[in-house]
Amino acid sequence: MYNQRATILWNHQVGPAHHRIGMGCRAEFADAVPGQFVMVRPAGRQGPLLRRPYSIFNPIEEQGRAVGIELLIKVVGEGTGQLCGLPPGAAIDLLGPLGRGFRVPPQMRRAVLVAGGIGVAPIYFLSLAMVKNRLPAKQQRVYIGARSDQELLCLADFEALGYPVTCTTDDGSVGDQCLITDPVEALVAAHRPDMVYACGPPAMLACLGGIVEKYRLECQVSIETMMACGMGACLGCAVPQRQSTTYLHACQDGPVFDWAAIDLSVERGV
pLDDT tens-digit map of 228-253: 677 767 777 888 898 888 889 888 99
Nearest to 268 by CA among 239, 247, 236: 239
Q: Is the pLDDT confidence value at 166 over 80? A: yes
Phi-psi region of 35 (alpha: psi -120 to 50; beta: other; left: phi over 0): left
Read off the DSSP letter of residue 121. H
Please state, in angstroms and rounded to a whole number, the distance separating the CA atoms of residues 194 and 139: 11
Phi, psi of 52 (to 5 degrees): -110, 140
pLDDT tier for residue 199 given thresholds of 50, 70 and 90: very high
Please state, in angstroms and rounded to a whole number, the distance separating the CA atoms of residues 35 and 231: 15
| Stretch 102-120: mean pLDDT | 95
Q: Is the pLDDT confidence value at 270 over 50? A: no
Check residue 105 and give its pLDDT. 92
Please state, in angstroms and rounded to a whole number, the distance separating the CA atoms of residues 252 and 234: 11
Which residues does residue 110 pair with via DSSP β-bridges, in sequence order?
Answer: none
pLDDT tens, residue by residue, 144-157: 999 999 999 999 99
Please state, in angstroms and rounded to a whole number, the distance separating the CA atoms of residues 27 and 213: 40
> pLDDT higher for 202 or 185?
185
pLDDT tens, residue by residue, 36-79: 999 998 887 655 567 889 999 999 988 878 899 999 999 988 88
CA distances from 95 to 44, 101, 167, 255 (A): 15, 16, 33, 16
> pLDDT higher for 16 or 193?
193
CA 70 from centre of chain: 12
Q: Is the pLDDT confidence value at 217 over 90? A: yes
Sign of the torsion formed by the C-alpha atoms of 70, 79, 249 and 197 = negative
Task: Give the SS3 label for residue 108.
Answer: coil
Which residues does residue 227 pair with via DSSP β-bridges, in sequence order?
Answer: none
- Residue 251 and residue 228 in contact, taking contact as beta carbons nearer than 8 Å: no
Torsion on CA atoms 33, 4, 52, 47, rounded to nearest 10: -170
| Stretch 214-220: mean pLDDT | 97
Nearest to 161 by CA among 181, 145, 140: 140
164-191 residues labelled b (16+ CB within 10 A) or e (exposed): ebbbbbeeeebbeeebbbebbbeebeee
Mean pLDDT score of the chain: 90
pLDDT tier for residue 269 given thresholds of 50, 70 and 90: very low
pLDDT tier for residue 256 given thresholds of 50, 70 and 90: very high
- Residue 205 and residue 266 in contact, taking contact as beta carbons nearer than 8 Å: no
At a CB cut-off of 8 Å and minimum separation 6, what does 244 contact?
A: none
